[in-house]
Chains A and B, each alone.
Chain A
Amino acid sequence: QQQVKQSPQSLIVQKGGISIINCAYENTAFDYFPWYQQFPGKGPALLIAIRPDVSEKKEGRFTISFNKSAKQFSLHIMDSQPGDSATYFCAAREGTSGTYKYIFGTGTRLKVLA
């Protein structure tokens, strides 16, 4: 059972274009939605995150759009650069009984062409 569904699996964008990655979830108890960036041979690193009481968060060229009613959130990378080529993961934090854990999407491999 995949609680966080991520699409597309892979994405090719021209330099300067907009990259858009989408995630959908079912569990309304999720309370935090981060995006991670991973380069080959490295561990994932937090890129940007949002809480469900906010509809949009922007940090530089990266924006999260959050639609609570549709249970969807997306990552937009503006003015995409070759250095953005990496794998991106969405995630959601689930907290029950005083503890919490994270559920990850399956990842999107982004390639930005120079």
Chain B
Amino acid sequence: DAGITQSPRYKITETGRQVTLMCHQTWSHSYMFWYRQDLGHGLRLIYYSAAADITDKGEVPDGYVVSRSKTENFPLTLESATRSQTSVYFCATSLSYEQYFGPGTRLTVT
């Protein structure tokens, strides 16, 4: 049982390029979340989804796009990557109260 997987685990991209981070879950949890983790800021919510086709902005949504056509997948797209988007990105799921995190994707924008 894989739980939550994120791909790629590491990514280096150039400023201005589009990049998509993938998140897949095997539990069929209704909620999925995207966070970015930066030193001194903790975990900041980018977008979240209560169910397929339902998404909402979090604290820092600018420059990001999400979609959720299937319950198990929640991709995060950086439409035109900027250096300020260099970060570690975590996907998480939740059924009710407990939240489960994936292993993270370390993204570097040069």
Surface stretch bound by A, among B12-20, B35-43, B72-80 = B35-43
Residue ranges of A at the interface with B (Cβ–Cβ < 8 Å): 6, 32, 34, 36, 41-46, 49, 89, 91, 93, 98-107
Residue of B nearest to A101 (CB): B48
Q: Which of A32, A43, A101, A107 has a CB less than 8 Å from the CB of B101? A: A43
Contact A101 B42 (CB under 8 A): no
**B58 cross-chain contacts in A, Cβ below 8 A:** 101
Contact B42 A107 (CB under 8 A): yes
In the complex, 11 of the A-B residue pairs with CB atoms within 8 angstroms, ordered by the A residue number, are: A43-B103, A44-B43, A44-B101, A46-B98, A49-B97, A91-B99, A99-B56, A101-B33, A101-B48, A101-B58, A104-B42
**B45 cross-chain contacts in A, Cβ below 8 A:** 101-104
**B97 cross-chain contacts in A, Cβ below 8 A:** 32, 34, 49, 93
CB distance from B43 to the nearest CB of A (A): 4
Q: What is the CA–CA distance of A43 and B33 in the complex, to the nearest angstrom?
A: 13
